[in-house]
Every structure is written in C-alpha cells, then in structure tokens.
Structure 1
C-alpha cells in the first residue's frame, strides 16, 4: 500500500538522481545505485513531511514499473501515514489530534512527524481513536523472488 517505487536517472554529474512518480516532490541523489537506494528512505520520509506541512493526503503507492526499485517503509512510517490520512479524512489539525488523544502539543506533533521516531504503541493508540488498527505481516526478504504473493 505504501511501498513506493523509485526510478533512477543518470545525472549530468557522476551519479544517479532519484524520482518517485507517486511522490513527485521527491528529489534525491546517490553516487551509485547502492547509495541512491540507501538515500531513498530518507527522501521519502522528507517528502511525506512536505505533505503534512501542506495538509495534503499522502497517496498510496502505485504498482512498480519495470526497472524500478521498491522502497519498503518501516511499520512506524506506515502507521504515521495511516494516522495522517485518517486526520485528513476528518479535516483534523494536529491540535485536534492532541485534544482527541489528551496529549500535549509536542507529543501529538511527533506522532505525524516523519523525521521523528515514535513508539509503535503510541501510534496504535492514536489509530484506535480513529477506529483503526495496525496489521503487520512478516515475510522473508526473498518472498517475491520465491514466488510468494506480496501482502499489502
């Protein structure tokens, strides 16, 4: 659902530019494919922060195209996306979230701050206030190569 596909383009300088069609604001760079992939998660989380700043719904990921690389987001990041999108569906602001959860402003802000690490338990409690629950699946890294279906 939020496994974003990125693509690489040769840059005029040595290296690769990183793009994501689902997150057009994403802009990053790596010296080679390996460093570009390692930069991609940070670039995605930074881009998600832009969506929060602009009070926009975070889009679901579309199917990857041939030659792309899929970035699997951490469970905490996916939970923050779900929380943010639930807030947007109800036209809520961060202050509304704080009132709903009975938490201080700083604590509520961190729940939708993609550049801050939150405890999964706090996110689960926040999602519960929206009648949502987090569901986690565990798969081997090589599941897709072995022909197992990909869960979302």
Structure 2
C-alpha cells in the first residue's frame, strides 16, 4: 500500500544515497546498497511522521519503473498511516474518533503515534468505526523465489 519507489545514487566516496521522489524529505545513505535501503525505511518513517505532525496528507506512492527498488514502512506503521489518512479523508478529528470508540483522546493519539506499540485489534476497531475493514495481503517481492528450495539470505527470526 505504501510501497515507495526510490532512486539509488553512488556518491563520490562510494556510499549509496537513497532519494524518495514522492517523499523528498526522506533522504539517507549507506555504505552500500543494502545498508542504504535499510536506513531508507527509517528515513521514510521519520518523514511520514512529520507529515502527520503537520496535518498533511500522506503522499500516494508513484508506480515504480521496472526493476526500480521500493521501500515500505513496517506493516504496523502502514496501518497507522492508512488510519490517519482515512480520518483526514473523512474529516474525522482525533477527538471525534475517540468518541466513536468510546475512549479517551490520549488513546487515539497513541494509536496514531508511529512509535507507539498499538495492537492490530485496536487499529481494526478504529477502522471499523470509520467504515473500513482491515485487510492483509502477502505479495511476492521481486526476485523473491527460493533458490532450489534453499533460503539464500538468512531472515531475522524471533522464533
């Protein structure tokens, strides 16, 4: 949903700079492409939080060119961004949402805080009172095939 295309540029010192066309405030770099893309998610998070703090619409990602890398916020952050944008689109204030949810306005502020640990159930309840249903999808990422049934890069596992 919030899958933003990025431009990668090799700098004179060998670092890789990441720019977001749709979110120009998100700008970062890393010593190589992998690190740069890792830092890009953090830069995107900070920039989109600033959009929310400034009461601005969340930019709609443009379509990536074939083979162009993209960066997305974490799933929880994406849910919070979608809730925030739904509220803006419908003209629903935090105070009004608190009333609809029969809760304190502080709880709604925390629900929209990208750094606060909310639950999916809380976001589902908020989406419901706004007339939305929360849905999830699992999409194959480019080049996301297993090589001969083996994982080529060790995923981080909290199992």
Give the deviation of 1:141 after TM superposition: 4.4
The aligned runs of 1:1-152 (5 Å cut-off) are: 1-66=1-66, 68-141=68-141
Shift of 1:98: 2.5
The structure that has the greater radius of gyration is 2
Q: Which moved more, 1:34-43 or 1:63-72?
A: 63-72
Q: Say whether the 8 Å CA contact 2:26–2:40 is kept in structure 1.
A: no
How far did 1:47 drift?
1.0
8 Å contact kept, 1:80–1:112? yes
* Structure of greater relative contact order (alpha carbons < 8 Å, 6+ residues apart): 1
Q: Tell me what 1:150 maps to.
A: none
CA contact (8 A) 1:49 1:115 kept: no
Structure 2: 5+ residue stretches without partners: 147-159
Question: What RMSD over aligned residues (CA atoms) do the two structures have, in Å?
Answer: 2.3
Q: TM-score, normalised by structure 1?
A: 0.82
Please list the CA deviations of residues 70-107 of structure 1 after superposition, one character each: whole Å capped at 9, or x if unmatched: 12433322211111111111333333332332223332
Q: Using structure 2 for the length normalisation, give the TM-score.
A: 0.79
* Corresponding residue pairs, total: 146
